[in-house]
Amino acid sequence: MTSSPEHSSPLTTLSQDETLFQQEVERFARSAIGPKVLEMDEKEQLDLGLLPQMFDMGLMGIEVPTEYGGAGGSFFMSILAVEALAKTDPAISVICDVQNTLVNNIFLRYANLEQQKTFLPRLTTKDVGSYCLTESGSGSDAFAMKARAHDEGDHWRLDGKKIFITNAKEANIFVVFANINPELGYKGITAFVLERGMPGLRVGKKEVKLGIRASSTCEVICDNVRVPKQNVIGEIGKGYKIAIETLNEGRIGIAGQMLGLAQGAFEGALKYARQREQFGKPIKEFQGVQFSIARAATDIEAARLLVYNAARLKDAKQDFVKEAAMAKIFASATAETVASEMLEVYGGYGFIKEFPAEKFFRDAKIGKLYEGTTNMQLATIFKLIDAQYR
């Protein structure tokens, strides 16, 4: 069953190339990822054999120009890939999402030419990247960070601990935000690129999570890490701008992930409702089941409109921050609601791991939490609306 190619809305209609791309990613997800989903979830570990396949398909460098080994695609295509992967496994989807919308994005937009030549070919062909911003005392207040960067003449020395870092276990390249002078507040925050193997850089505790368990979430610890001066990304003291603008785009990626999750939960429940019989007929013949599935389809379509609109605006270089926040809020809420209601279509079977419903249900919760909580998105939306109507 396909979804996007059949939509008639101008916002959700895909070009032929976009349709073929999304279908190819969906086929890959079903055939290569699908058989491993339960085992990865139970072991809380990515099957490392999937990473070379994702790199080979170009899924880890979708927007990166071909001269750097990327696919030379659009931001919208990144969102289509994230959505398509999430229909099978939201955990694998977020690995692709962080690589494209956060890490690669930073190098494409803010790195100098030498940094791009050095790191982008690695990020598109073999190396996973990690985006290291959050600390124990700076979550929603991201710029209350304690990580320090000390200028020692011919190099920087980084100290601090980051938490909840996606892809950290598998990553070889880390974009780390640290403050060069806490007295400057957010104006001291600077972005640095670190590499696995640097003395003093280590990946710490891996978190045990409710959902998206195959995606690693770990501490990243800097203990007197010596960082070359040429490893500063962008301008010194402008890391706050890099972080904010990157996360604005990343939120569309999370919205795409939640959209794909909802679609996957919906399609699984619809298939089950056609097969499962009670009282001598398929349960899809019962009005209660019909109404539940119809509501889910309606919410998913509304979420798709918001997500695709935000992504199209970004590619068109138009303002998209408000629309990105709206897409993330609505898609996250839709994923949670749809995953819950579709689980009930399965009845008792929805509560056991043999069927995909319970995993979609667990995976959905993170959408309201990471890359900006729902309340932070609401605050952003109000601020922009208030300015718009003055």
**Residue where one domain finishes, among candidates 93, 128, 163:** 128
Co-location of 114 and 229 in the same domain:
no
HSE-CB at 284 with a 13 A cutoff on CA atoms is 12
Co-location of 228 and 354 in the same domain:
no
63, 170, 336, 371: the active-site residue: 371
Q: Could you tell me the CA-to-CA distances from 49 to 18, 104, 194, 385 in Å, in that order?
A: 26, 22, 25, 46
What is the pTM assigned to this prediction?
Answer: 0.96
47 neighbors 69 (Cβ within 8 angstroms):
no
Number of domains in the chain: 3
DSSP three-state, residue 179: strand
Co-location of 333 and 371 in the same domain:
yes
Rounded to whole angstroms, the Cα distance separating 51 from 32 reads: 11
Q: CATH code at 249?
A: 1.20.140.10
Co-location of 262 and 324 in the same domain:
yes
117 neighbors 108 (Cβ within 8 angstroms):
no
DSSP letter at 15 equals: P
Co-location of 248 and 382 in the same domain:
yes
269 neighbors 357 (Cβ within 8 angstroms):
yes
Please list, residue by residue across 72-107, b when 16 or more beta carbons sit within 10 angstroms of its beta carbon and e when fewer do.
ebbbbbbbbbbbbbbbbbbbbbbbbbbbbbbbbbbb
Does residue 5 register a pLDDT over 50? no
pLDDT tens per residue across span 133-149: 999 998 888 778 999 99
Rounded to whole angstroms, the Cα distance separating 94 from 101 reads: 10
pLDDT tens per residue across span 87-141: 999 999 999 999 999 999 999 999 999 999 999 999 999 999 999 999 999 888 8
Rounded to whole angstroms, the Cα distance separating 30 from 386 reads: 44
| Mean pLDDT, residues 254-282 taken together | 98
Please list, residue by residue across 211-224, b when 16 or more beta carbons sit within 10 angstroms of its beta carbon and e when fewer do.
bbbbbbbbbbbbee
pLDDT tens per residue across span 366-382: 999 999 999 999 999 99
Co-location of 137 and 122 in the same domain:
no
Rounded to whole angstroms, the Cα distance separating 103 from 193 reads: 10
Q: Which domain holds residue 204?
A: 130-237
**Residue where one domain finishes, among candidates 88, 106, 128:** 128
Please list, residue by residue across 325-344, b when 16 or more beta carbons sit within 10 angstroms of its beta carbon and e when fewer do.
bbbbbbbbbbbbbbbbbbbe
Rounded to whole angstroms, the Cα distance separating 135 from 143 reads: 10
Rounded to whole angstroms, the Cα distance separating 352 from 374 reads: 29
374 neighbors 258 (Cβ within 8 angstroms):
no
Co-location of 162 and 102 in the same domain:
no
| Mean pLDDT, residues 225-232 taken together | 98
Q: Which residues contact 57 (CB under 8 A, 6 or more apart)?
A: 24, 25, 28
pLDDT tens per residue across span 26-48: 999 999 999 999 999 999 999 99
Q: CATH code at 15?
A: 1.10.540.10
Looking at residue 33, its pLDDT comes to 98
Rounded to whole angstroms, the Cα distance separating 106 from 313 reads: 19
Co-location of 283 and 357 in the same domain:
yes
Terminal CA-CA length for the chain: 47
| Mean pLDDT, residues 206-232 taken together | 98
Write the burial class of residue 324 (CB in 10 Å: 0-12 exposed, 13-18 middle, 19+ buried).
buried
DSSP three-state, residue 164: strand
Closest CA to 133 of 172, 96, 186: 186
Co-location of 225 and 247 in the same domain:
no
Let me know how long the chain is: 390
Closest CA to 133 of 168, 104, 85, 107: 168
The model's confidence at residue 25, banded by pLDDT at 50, 70 and 90, is very high
Rounded to whole angstroms, the Cα distance separating 207 from 311 reads: 31
Looking at residue 12, its pLDDT comes to 81
Closest CA to 373 of 311, 339, 329, 327: 329
Write the burial class of residue 48 (CB in 10 Å: 0-12 exposed, 13-18 middle, 19+ buried).
exposed
pLDDT tens per residue across span 311-331: 999 999 999 999 999 999 999
Co-location of 292 and 203 in the same domain:
no
Rounded to whole angstroms, the Cα distance separating 92 from 216 reads: 10
The model's confidence at residue 8, banded by pLDDT at 50, 70 and 90, is low
Of 233 and 13, which is predicted with more confidence?
233
Co-location of 305 and 338 in the same domain:
yes
pLDDT tens per residue across span 231-243: 999 999 999 999 9
117 neighbors 80 (Cβ within 8 angstroms):
no
Co-location of 165 and 36 in the same domain:
no
Residue 278 CA, chain-centre distance (Å), reads: 39
Q: Is 371 a catalytic residue?
A: yes
Q: CATH code at 208?
A: 2.40.110.10
Looking at residue 29, its pLDDT comes to 98
DSSP letter at 170 equals: T
pLDDT tens per residue across span 333-366: 999 999 999 999 999 999 999 999 999 999 999 9
**Residue where one domain finishes, among candidates 73, 95, 128:** 128
How many other C-beta atoms are found inside a 10 Å radius of the C-beta of residue 152? 11
